[in-house]
Structure 1
Amino acid sequence: MTVESALQARFSARAFTPQEPDAALVERILRLSAQAASGGNLQPWKVIALRGAPLQELIATVQQSNADENAQTQSYPAPLWEPYRSRRYKNGEDLYASIGIGRDNKPARLEQLSKNFQFFGAPVGVLVCVDQRMGNAQWADLGIYLQSLMLLATENGLATCPQGFWRRFQTGLKPFLNLPEEYMVAYGVSLGYADMDAPINQWRADRVEPQDWLQLRGF
C-alpha cells in the first residue's frame, strides 16, 4: 500500500469488531509513528495504549467523572465562523443521517455520542498526551504523529478514529494515567478492526474543492 492509497482508504471508524490486533503490531505502529517530524526534534508526545482490563478500568473511571469545560479542552473555537461552521454542521448531519437519526431525536444522538466513552467498541484505546507548557507548534507536531499513526494502521489493515472527546475529561484521566501535573491528554485514538457491516462505517466525510483552500503561484 502506498501513502496515497492509505490516505484515500483511511476513515474514522465508529464501530469495531471484538477482534484484538496483535500486540506486537500495535506496539510497532506506535513506535514507528514517532518517526514523525517535530520542530527542533522535541518529539513532544507521550503515548499510553490500553487494552483489556486497563482499558475497561479507564472507561469506567471517566464515565463517573465530570467534563472539564474550558477553552483548552474544547475541540473548536466558539463561536465558530463561516465557512467552518457550515462544514461542521453538515458533517454532523451527514453522520447521523447515515444511521437514521434525525435532528430532533436528541436521545438517540446522545446515545451515539456516548459511544465515544467506549472508544466505539475498539479493543485498543490510545491516549496521546502533551506537556501543557508546550505551544501551538508542538500541538501541530502531535497532529503529525497522529497522522503517521493512522496511516500506518491503515497500511496494516487496522482502523482508527481520532477523538478530541477525551480532552474534556482531564480530571478523571490524569490521576488514572498517573500523568505529571503539567501534562494533559491531547486526544484519544480508537484502534482495531472496523466492523464494515455497521452502517456508520459506510459513511465518509466529504472534502471541499481544492479551489476553496489551494493557491498555486508560479506553476
Structure 2
Amino acid sequence: MNRMMGPPLSAQALQVAVDWAIATRRSVRAYLPKPVPMEDIEAILSTARYSASGMNMQPWHVHVLTGPAKAGLCAAVTALDNDPGRSGELLEPYDYYPREWFSPYLERRRKVGWDLYGLLGIAKGDKQRMHLQHGRNYQFFDAPVGLFFTVDRSLQEGSLLDYGMFLQSVMIAARSRGLHTCPQAAFLKFHRQIAEFLEITPGQMLVCGMSLGYADEASVENSLVTEREPVSAFTTFHNNAKETKA
C-alpha cells in the first residue's frame, strides 16, 4: 500500500466507513465455524503494522493459531483451567486490572458481567455455569482463528501503549473485512503454558490473546452491546487564556 496515496472514497464516505468500523467493533463471544482465509489474516496484520509506535520501535509479535495447533492449545489450557489445584496457583505476567476495584470502574465491570450473564440465563451465585462460560475464552469462543500477542520483556510501559494502538488496528482492519474479534486478557494466567506450547522465548511476554472470525449473530451473547460514556463525561475543553503570575 502506498502510504502517501489519496483517499479511495469521497470525504463523507470515508468518514462513515472509518467511524462504522470503530463503532461496530465489539467483543464477540460466539463464532461461526466458517474458516477465515489466510490471505485475510495476513492482510489484517499487514494493515495493522502501520500503527504508531514511539521511535518506530514496532514492539509487536503475533502468533496465529488455526486447525490442530489451535485445538491442541485450547485442550491444554482448558484442562488446566478445570483443575483448581493447579490453576489457582498461577500468576499473570503483569497486572492488567487494578488489584482493588473502585468507582466508577467497579460498577462498569459489574454491569457488563451481569448483563452478559443475564442474557445467558446465568443466575448470581451459579459458580459452575460462570466457570463454564469463562472457560469459553480458552476455546477462543469457537472462533476459527486464535491470536496471541507478545512483547519483549526489556521494553517499558510506553511499548504497551504502542501495543494498544496495534491491537485496535487489528480489530478495525478485521471489521473492514466483515470479521469480528474479542481481545482476551483471560489467557494471561496461563502465559507459561502458552509459551511452552508455542515455543515462545523467555524474553517475550504475553500481552493478550484474541479471537478472530465471523460472528454467530444468532447467539444471544452477541446481542450484548456495552454502554459508553458521552464525550462530556471524560473530556475537559480548555479554551480561554489564563494569566500567570510573574
| TM-score (norm: length of structure 2) | 0.84
The alignment yields a C-alpha RMSD, in angstroms, of: 1.6
Distance 1:210 1:31 in 2: 32
Which runs of structure 2 are paired with 1:41-80 in the superposition (5 Å)?
41-65=56-80, 66-67=86-87, 69-70=90-91, 72-80=93-101
Asked if 1:170 is matched to 2:191, the reply is yes
- Corresponding residue number in structure 2 for 1:37: 52
For 1:187, the aligned partner's letter is C
Letter in 1 for 2:173: L
CA offset at residue 70 of structure 1? 3.6
Larger radius of gyration between Structure 1 and Structure 2:
2
1:33/1:152 contact within 8 Å kept:
yes
Q: How does 1:2-41 map to 2 (within 5 A)?
A: 2-41=17-56
- Judge conservation of contact 2:92–2:188 (CA < 8 Å) in 1: no
Deviations 1:152-184 (A, max 9, x none): 101100010000111111121111111111112
SS of alignment partner, residue 180 of structure 1: coil
Aligned partner letter, 2:76: T
1:36-185 paired onto structure 2 within 5 Å: 36-65=51-80, 66-67=86-87, 69-70=90-91, 72-185=93-206
Q: Which runs of 5+ in 1 are unaligned?
A: none
**1:213 matched to which residue of 2?**
234
Deviation at 1:71, TM superposition (A): 5.9
Matched residue SS, 1:88: helix
Q: Kindly tell me the number of residue pairs found equivalent between the two proteins.
A: 219
Structure 2, gaps ≥5 residues long: 1-15, 81-85, 241-246
Letter in 2 for 1:111: L
Question: Residues of 2 paired with 1:30 and 1:97: CA distance?
Answer: 35
Q: Distance in 2 between matches of 1:69 and 1:213?
A: 35
TM-score (norm 1): 0.94
**CA displacement 1:33-88 (0-9 Å, x = unmatched):** 11100111111111010100111111122234444644634431110121111111
Identical aligned residues as a percent: 34
